[in-house]
Structure formats: structure tokens, C-alpha cells
Amino acid sequence: MKFSKLSGPPVTGRRRWGSLSQLILVSSIGLLVATLLTACQLVTTDYVFISSAAATSTCSGGEIETYASDSESGALRTGAPPVCAGGVDPVAMAVTGAYNNLYVANHGDNTVVHFAVASDGVLTAKDTITLSTPPTSVAVNAAGTFLYVVAGSASATLTEFPLSSSGAIGAATAQESLLIPGFTTDSVVPTGVIVLANNNAVYATAYDLSAYNPGGTTTSTAHPGWVFGFAVGSGGALTPSAGSPYQAGVKPSALVADPTNRFVYITDFASNQMIGYGIESGNVLSFLINGPFKTGNEPQSIAIDPRGMFLYVANALDSSVSAYVIALGTGTPSAAVSPTGSGTNSTDTEPISIAVDPALGRYVYTSNFLGNSISGFRLNPTSGALTTTQATPYPTGDEPTALVIVPHGNHSTQAVAP
């Protein structure tokens, strides 16, 4: 028995109470230690999923890795075991608004693979579709009813697929060719696609390879960079917005919309700038009058915080993140100054994807293609400035590409309060 040492010959009251006091003291210390240990345990806020394009011993076409984000520090630790990407060369990912389904675009074999996301971050492959051309970007509407895929290496298309209640991908319901006005035979390369939070419009970026081809020849005098806008009607019908497509610099590389459906921002990889648009009636885009806005060199990816207050751009050549504060009235982004007095924040080598956590809106992560890592930053919710998270960067598999974040369990996401 636990108290066997107290049995035997009678003892004086003093000695007995001394033993009990020691027991109480030991128990109290144990409880305190347990409490401190519990307090020191990492509490997961988000799961960070990252696609790695390089082959591994178990996944010849690349894999999806899972990391858990600590709610207090933003530090990452490995989560559920990696899973194969289900195709070759994963380049883009998207999740449903309910965060229970993940879609991976595999550029190497023209596939899009659907994974179910469990509450513990485990991914399970469900179904696959095969396209006629390589996919470059994917997006899911907030309602979780449609998946949008842009694909092509010379002839760009935007295809809409319906999603079942379980997230399964159905047969295409709409497809639009992304053609340059007056130059419909030019080779066009799509680079990104987004859906407005209200599910009412889709925007896709592309550039004219016939007009912009560094290191190669050009055969066209067309404007090189474009963004295409489509209204989403009943049953998912797509109708081009008035004036679409709209000019978008030289080589648009990524785009994002604010959560209140008022602004769209596009990074121009070739011109080292960001272009801002206001969303007018009918989902028509109009340039923000004081743009474009300077970024670092070769901006590759862009993200906005869940409150629509701050904007972040991953600059591939500079290995940095540019931070901006959005003027809520006009949509104008202004550089956010970090505590070091700099408007840029260093990452590991060649960040090509960036995301802000949707649960707290407190952490920013980049996938670093040549660094084989994830860089983490803490977001100041007042100024938008970034500081590095504990122990960043975090090692990943070789050639990490896309990155998405899923809130853990029942943790609520940030409310939009423009």
C-alpha cells in the first residue's frame, strides 16, 4: 500500500504529523511541477501543409508534409506523417472554407488530387481528376461548392468543377479560354486564380508568352500581363466582367482579394511591383489611382490577413517578405515598418509561397524553395510589422512549393471587421 511506511509500532503524534506534512509538501510540489509542465506544452493553433516537389524514397512525385503551429510562439513542429502528393510535381494547393478538404495541383502529370483533412491534421487521398494541360493554380469558393483550376503552358484555361458535400470533384461545369484581345493565337501562361469571399466572382492572372519571353524570342506586340474577371451566376455559370481582361503589368505572378470583396492585389514578378484594383459594380476592376506599389525583387506570392488590414509579399530573389498596411477606405497599401526600421523581413532562400494563419491572424509563413524550409514570422496586430518566430526557419523536404494553413480543431477564425 502507498502508506505502508506508516504502519507498525505506534509513533508519537509529532512524528506522524511530520510525515503527513512531508506527504502534503511532496504532493504540492508534484502538482506544481505538473501544472508548469502542462503550461509549457505546445498548444496547436494551426496545421501548416506544405507541398514538396522533389522525389523521396516513398513518394516519387513529391509529397505533402504536415506541421503544427504553437499558439503562443508560432514555432512549428512536425505533425502527422507526410503523404504522397498523388501526382507529380505539386505546385499549388487550396482548402475549403470549412477546412476539411485539401486540393493539390500536380503540374508534372496534369492532375488535381482531393484529400480529406482530419481534425488531427492527417490527410487521406480521396479522388483525382486529370486535365489535358498542366495545372498552375487552384482555388475553392467559400461555400465549398466549386473548385477553380487554371491550367496550360501555351493555351490557358480556367475550369470550374462542382464539389460534393464530401468534397469529391465532379465533372466540369464551365470552362473559359484565357485569350488576349486582338492576339487570340498568342501563347498564354496562367499563373493564379482566386474567388471572392462572397462567391460572386473569379479572377485569374496570366501573361502572354509570345510578348514576354526572357531569354527567348517574341512574336507579338501585345501587352504581356493580364487579369481576367468572371461573374459567377446560377449553377456556377461564368460570365466575363465588363472590360475583362484588364492589364496587369508584365508578368503577374500571384493575386489576392481582401475579405470584404473591395480590392484585388496582384504581384508583378518582372517589374518588382504590386498592382492594386478596386472592385466596382459588376465585379469590374479599376486601378487604384496611386499605384503600382513597390515590392522587393521578383515578388512571387501574396497574402492578406483575415481582417483585411495587412498585406504580405514574398520576394523570391531577395529572400524577403514585404509588409504593408492597407488603408481601409481607399485600399492603398503602405509599407509597414518593422521594429528594426526596415520594411522587409529576411527569409531563407527563395520564398515562393506565403500564407497568414486564419485562426488568430498572428503568424505568417513562407515556403522557401531553395532553402528547403519554412520561415515563420509573428504579426503585430496593430502595426502589421513582422518579427521572426522562435527557431525559424524550420526544415522541410526538398523543393517546397505551395503552403496552406488550416485552423486546428474548433478554434474560431478571425472575424472580418473592416
Q: Percentage of the chain surpassing pLDDT 90?
A: 83
What are the φ/ψ torsions at residue 184 (nearest 5 degrees)?
-70, -15
- pLDDT value at residue 377: 97
Task: Return the closest-CA partner of residue 168 out of 186, 187, 146.
Answer: 146
- pLDDT value at residue 280: 96
Instruction: Give domain status of residue 402, yes or no.
Output: yes
Tens digit of pLDDT for each residue in 288-339? 989 999 999 999 999 999 999 999 999 999 999 999 999 989 999 998 866 6
Cell numbers placing 402: 505551395
111 vs 99: CA distance, rounded Å = 21
Task: Return the closest-CA partner of residue 173 out of 128, 112, 232, 132.
Answer: 232
Instruction: Give domain status of residue 249, yes or no.
Output: yes
Instruction: Give domain status of residue 42, yes or no.
Output: no
Q: Cβ–Cβ contacts within 10 Å for residue 159, how many?
A: 22
- pLDDT value at residue 344: 72
pLDDT band at 188 (very low <50, low <70, confident <90, very high): very high
- pLDDT value at residue 183: 98
N-terminal to C-terminal alpha carbon distance within the chain: 64
Tens digit of pLDDT for each residue in 53-81? 999 999 999 999 999 999 889 999 999 99
Give 405's contacts (C-beta < 8 A, 6+ positions apart): 46, 47, 48, 49, 69, 355, 356, 357, 358, 365
Tens digit of pLDDT for each residue in 210-248? 999 999 999 999 999 999 999 999 999 999 999 999 999
- pLDDT value at residue 71: 87
The reported pTM is: 0.88
| Sign (positive or negative) of CA dihedral 27, 30, 36, 38 | negative
Instruction: Give domain status of residue 17, yes or no.
Output: no
Q: Any bridge partners for residue 394, and if so which?
A: 374
C-alpha of 110 from chain center: 21
306 vs 259: CA distance, rounded Å = 7
Give 278's contacts (C-beta < 8 A, 6+ positions apart): 262, 263, 285, 286, 287, 288, 331
Tens digit of pLDDT for each residue in 10-62? 333 333 334 444 434 433 433 343 333 334 455 667 999 999 999 999 999 99
What's the total number of domains in the chain?
1
Say how many CA atoms lie within 13 Å of 244 toward its Cβ: 26
- pLDDT value at residue 411: 46
Mean pLDDT of 179-206: 97
Instruction: Give domain status of residue 354, yes or no.
Output: yes
From the CA atom positions of the chain, what is the Rg in Å? Answer: 25
- pLDDT value at residue 363: 97
Instruction: Give domain status of residue 73, yes or no.
Output: yes
Tens digit of pLDDT for each residue in 124-175? 999 999 999 999 999 999 999 999 999 999 999 999 999 999 999 999 999 9
Has residue 399 got a pLDDT over 60?
yes
Instruction: Give domain status of residue 40, yes or no.
Output: no
Has residue 2 got a pLDDT over 70?
no
Q: Which residue has the higher pLDDT, 269 or 22?
A: 269
**If you write DSSP's letter for every residue of 131-169 in order, what string do you get?**
-SS-EEEEEE-TTS-EEEEEE-SSS-EEEEEEB-TT--B
Instruction: Give domain status of residue 334, yes or no.
Output: yes
Domain that holds residue 217: 47-407
- pLDDT value at residue 340: 59
The rounded mean pLDDT for the chain is: 89
What CATH number is given to the structural domain containing 171?
A: 2.130.10.10
Q: Where are the alpha helices (DSSP H) in 233-354?
A: none
Q: Cβ–Cβ contacts within 10 Å for residue 220, how many?
A: 18
